[in-house]
Amino acid sequence: MSATTRQRKKSFLGSLVIPVASAAVLGYFAFHAVNGEFGMAGRERLDRQVAQLEAELADITSAREHLATRVALLRPESLDPDMVDERARVILNVVQADELIIMRGRSVAAR
Question: Per-residue pLDDT tens for 13-70?
Answer: 778 889 999 999 999 999 988 888 888 888 899 999 999 999 999 999 999 999 998 8
Q: Which residues contact 21 (CB under 8 A, 6 or more apart)?
A: none
Does residue 109 carry a pLDDT above 50? no
Q: ∠ at Cα 25 (19, 30), nearest 5°?
A: 120
Name the packing angle between helices 17-35 and 40-73 (round to 10°): 20
What's the confidence (pLDDT) of residue 85? 82
Question: Per-residue pLDDT tens for 71-99?
Answer: 887 777 777 788 788 888 888 887 778 87
The C-alpha atoms of residue 22 and residue 27 are separated, in whole angstroms, by 8
**Residue 11 or 62, more confident:** 62
What's the confidence (pLDDT) of residue 102? 78
